[in-house]
Amino acid sequence: MTERSFKGKTVVLTAGPTYEPIDPVRFIGNHSTGKMGYALAACFAARGANVQLISGPVSIKAEHQSINVTSVTTADEMYAAVKQLALEADILVYAAAVADYKPKVVADKKIKKSGNELTIELVKNVDIASALGKEKKEGQFSVGFALETHNESANAREKLQKKNLDMIVLNSLNDPGAGFKHDTNKVTIIEKDATTAFELKQKTAVAEDIVNLIWERING
């Protein structure tokens, strides 16, 4: 067992995108690969944690025996899975790139081409971290992620407060090599009274940095 052990701790962690169906063929989604979330899951498991990983559609697999994967597709499915497991969690990590909106009506048959325009009415999905932040029990430690393109620090700090998080991991699409589709990431971890910036690293190394800081906060 490595130093900074999470033995006896349960980590509930989300990863990957969500796909919100338009019809049986099409969906609204994003470019998340799940690599950051899966790297975190592997790091926690290697440190002795029991990891409950709720994953959107990805092409990678979790290999560690201490990682139990629940596969979901939509934001509603992810919320239901996380809510069911949240009470047993010591640590909650919201690393998934959940779609903010979904089609109000899902067609039961493929929508055929007709005319030059197609209007799809969207409704807001549940904000999983925010909803569960209202129900967070004493002693739970929760971590969110913020992928931003402008006003990065201000937007992340606002999410930290509104969602009742203990820390939020900020990455910016303005940083080369960070964000979706990369094996690397460059993050800044924002807490109520602290900000810690890291250089561009492999996502496996970024996961180590995040997990180390979580350990320090819950054992400090």
Active-site choice (30, 155, 164, 212): 30
Question: What is the rounded CA–CA span in Å between residue 194 and residue 160?
Answer: 12
Q: Which residues are CB-contacts of 169 (< 8 A; sequence separation ≥ 6)?
A: 95, 143, 144, 145, 146, 187, 188, 189, 190, 210
Three-state SS across the chain?
CCCCCCCCCEEEEEECECCEECCCCCEECCCCCCHHHHHHHHHHHHCCCEEEEEECCCCCCCCCCCEEEEECCCHHHHHHHHHHHHCCCCEEEECCECCCEEECCCCCCCCCCCCCCCCCCEEECCCHHHHHHCCCCCCCEEEEEEEECCCHHHHHHHHHHHCCCCEEEEEECCCCCCCCCCCEECCEEEECCEEEECCCEEHHHHHHHHHHHHHHHHHC
Question: Would residue 30 show up in a list of annotated catalytic residues for this protein?
Answer: yes
- Residues annotated as part of the active site: 30
